[in-house]
Amino acid sequence: MLSVELLPDEATERAVREVWARLRRAGLVSLAAHRHPTNRPHLTLAAAAEPAPGARAGLAEALRVLPVPLVLDGTVRFGGRANVLAWAVRRDEPLLRLQGAVWRALRDASGCAPPNPLHDPVRWCPHLTLGRGRGAVWPLTDGELFGAAGGVFAGRWVAARTYDSVTRTTAAV
């Protein structure tokens, strides 16, 4: 599986890593404990099982708009095979245009496997993962987790990368 991910500016990355550390200090599941060298705050725009070689040109074109603004706004929680605590990313127009363009670049590339339907622009729920684990719980309010700001943070998406889940490697786009 190849995913296309946005990377935040340094201040946003520091803010996310501070929350990771806060969770870890509280004895809660946190991505601070994930030590793989590719682990860093990111926003997954789309993913496909077998992207065609021609998809890279379309992705590069779609991502030429970077940097774009980002706004983090409170928590979102997901259930399933693993529970996820995430910092919600506001669905503003520049981000939605960019994500749609990346989705279409993967979808429309000749010979490309269909993109993951969870990233279909209609269904996509943008977020930065803070913690993930089977049966994990986070009994904190947004105020306890983020402090006085209550989880609202503004920054910029400044770069993009791909992540290959088979080789566990990243590459700049």
Parent domain of 136: 2-172
d(CA 65, CA 68): 7
Looking up tokens 């590339």 gives: 109
Amino acid at 52: A
What pLDDT is stored for residue 38 in this prediction? 87
Provide mean pLDDT across the span 81-103.
Answer: 96
DSSP category for residue 14: H
Neighbouring CB atoms inside 10 A of 33's CB total: 12
CB-based burial label for 123 (10 Å; 0-12, 13-18, 19+): exposed
Provide mean pLDDT across the span 131-140.
Answer: 95
Residue 48 φ/ψ, nearest 5 degrees: -145, 145
Sign of CA dihedral 126, 154, 75, 41: positive
Number of domains in the chain: 1
d(CA 71, CA 126): 11
Residue 31 φ/ψ, nearest 5 degrees: -70, -10
Amino acid at 57: A
Whether the pTM exceeds 0.95: the reply is no
d(CA 78, CA 109): 30
What pLDDT is stored for residue 55 in this prediction? 81
What pLDDT is stored for residue 61 in this prediction? 94
What pLDDT is stored for residue 150 in this prediction? 86
CATH number at residue 88: 3.90.1140.10
